[in-house]
Amino acid sequence: MNDTLPLNIAEALAQGLEFLRPLAGEDSFNPAVPAALLRAGLQRLPVPLKDGGLGGGLVDAMRVLAELGSVDGSAALGLAMHYQTLGAAMESESWPPALLNEVISAVCEQGALINLAATEARGGSPARGALPWVTARRQGSNWVINGEKRWTTWLPALRYAVVTARIVDSHPSVIEKKLRLGSFLLDLSLPGVERLPAFDGLGMRASASGILDLKDVCLDDDRLIAASVARVNDPRRASAQAWFGLCVSAVYLGVGEGARNALLPWAVERKPGDSRTTVAEIPSVRHRLGKLDAELRAARIVLFEVAQRWETITGENGREDCLSDVALAKLKVTEAAVFATDHAMRIAGGPGFSRGELERAFRDARAGLIHPPLEDVAYQEFAKKLIQAYRPPCV
């Protein structure tokens, strides 16, 4: 798929893969991994060329993430979080320009990385409507942030986090509009910020999706990116959901495809039993391999079709309508990745079960099920739409 990338991005990807390969496959975070991708300049992908970036769009970002994901899921997930935060910020045009310009310069000139710190222990996924327990309180002309975020990917490597917080005490303009949810740009070098490891997951173990502990972190007034009534009127919503859902899906597609890549040479060369046939020649294995491949190819087609459509849609209504397809793509990709990694392991038997590429892909793919949109939520939404659209025939 690389040949469809613009040349500068294809070159950065080739470099990124070359630097990443010797480091890939670890089960704990290695700072050399984000450093390798930064060295290749991949963090600049979504920034326009005129601002020092690589000038890539959502589809380019996804192609890069799928390639990286096939080599190292955790590394790809870290970069996906950076892309989705930055890409949605630029696409939605909803950030104060000064904040966006600061981040863009830091990304391009200093190799800064950014991520969204939204999830909390008590609230679970913010995509399911939780109001944060992290608070933002006014103190003079500043905001004071307190609380704890969980699952912040690549936490040790980040320069910035977009932190969602419950506005508990605000200046009159915010109170009048009943705005209770704020997003703040946080420089993680500020006093009061602590990064705690605490990630002990089944998969994506090298993603350093840690705890961001915030104690009386004092922010200037202008670090507020946007305030809304608990997501209802957040102008960034559609872009944020699409960039998140599609970038993250590209990573898990890569994880599934990586398992297929790792399985193939083994199946073609291994001769079990009387050594007369290879594993790949056994009819039931061929059936399984073909099915695994079909699931992945179908998922890739759906994913990139939706992303390409997203890039050409203009206007908020069209984008809102497309979000249901973003959820569909995320669902199909995660199902395919879980299926493919499961069946790759069944085909490979003992070597697939032992610590290594297939075993890691099996675990990593399952993390895709946890990110929003959750499959149960998506199915309920599909059913709701279907029922709403149904008009009983007149009798």
Ligand X SMILES: Cc1cc2nc3c(=O)[nH]c(=O)nc-3n(C[C@H](O)[C@H](O)[C@H](O)COP(=O)(O)OP(=O)(O)OC[C@H]3O[C@@H](n4cnc5c(N)ncnc54)[C@H](O)[C@@H]3O)c2cc1C
Contacts (CB under 6 A) with ligand X, residues 337-376: 367, 370-372, 374, 376
Contacts (CB under 6 A) with ligand X, residues 8-37: none
Question: Exposed, middle or buried: residue 282 (CB in 10 Å: 0-12, 13-18, 19+)?
Answer: middle
Facing residues of 193 across strands? 214
Least Cβ distance, residue 386 to ligand X (angstroms): 17
**Based on CB atoms, which residue is closest to ligand X, 8 or 125?**
125
Largest CA distance in the chain: 81
Least Cβ distance, residue 364 to ligand X (angstroms): 8
Give the one residue of 165, 204, 303, 348 binding ligand X; rule: CB under 6 A: 204
Contacts (CB under 6 A) with ligand X, residues 373-392: 374, 376-377
Is residue 116 a contact residue for ligand X (CB under 6 A)?
Answer: yes
Least Cβ distance, residue 314 to ligand X (angstroms): 29
Q: What is the DSSP string of 88-108?
A: HHHHHT-S-HHHHHHHHHHHH
Asked if 184 and 162 count as a contact pair (C-beta separation under 8 A), the reply is yes
Contacts (CB under 6 A) with ligand X, residues 206-225: 207, 209
What is the amino acid identity at position 268? V
Closest CA to 307 of 320, 323, 295: 323
Mark 21-47 as b/e (b = at least 16 C-beta within 10 Å).
eebbbeeebbeebbebbbbbbbbbbbb
Contacts (CB under 6 A) with ligand X, residues 122-151: 124-125, 128, 151
Distance CA 362, CA 374 (A): 19
Contacts (CB under 6 A) with ligand X, residues 71-90: 81
**Based on CB atoms, which residue is closest to ligand X, 129 or 290?**
129
Asked if 228 and 179 count as a contact pair (C-beta separation under 8 A), the reply is yes
What is the amino acid identity at position 18? E
Least Cβ distance, residue 197 to ligand X (angstroms): 14
Give the one residue of 115, 170, 241, 341 binding ligand X; rule: CB under 6 A: 115
Least Cβ distance, residue 271 to ligand X (angstroms): 38
Least Cβ distance, residue 293 to ligand X (angstroms): 26
Q: Which residue of the chain is nearest ligand X when measured via CB?
A: 124
Which tokens belong to 257? 């495809």
Which tokens belong to 90? 């630029």
Residue spans of alpha helices (H) in the chain: 7-20, 32-39, 58-69, 73-92, 97-110, 172-176, 237-269, 283-312, 316-348, 350-353, 357-367, 375-389
**Based on CB atoms, which residue is closest to ligand X, 132 or 352?**
132
Is residue 230 a contact residue for ligand X (CB under 6 A)?
Answer: no
Q: Which stretch binds ligand X (CB under 6 A): 4-12, 36-44, 121-129, 337-345?
A: 121-129
By rule CB under 6 A, what count of residues binds ligand X?
23
Distance CA 267, CA 276 (A): 14
Least Cβ distance, residue 80 to ligand X (angstroms): 9
**Based on CB atoms, which residue is closest to ligand X, 81 or 99?**
81
Residues that bind ligand X (CB under 6 A): 81, 115-119, 124-125, 128, 151-153, 201, 204, 207, 209, 367, 370-372, 374, 376-377
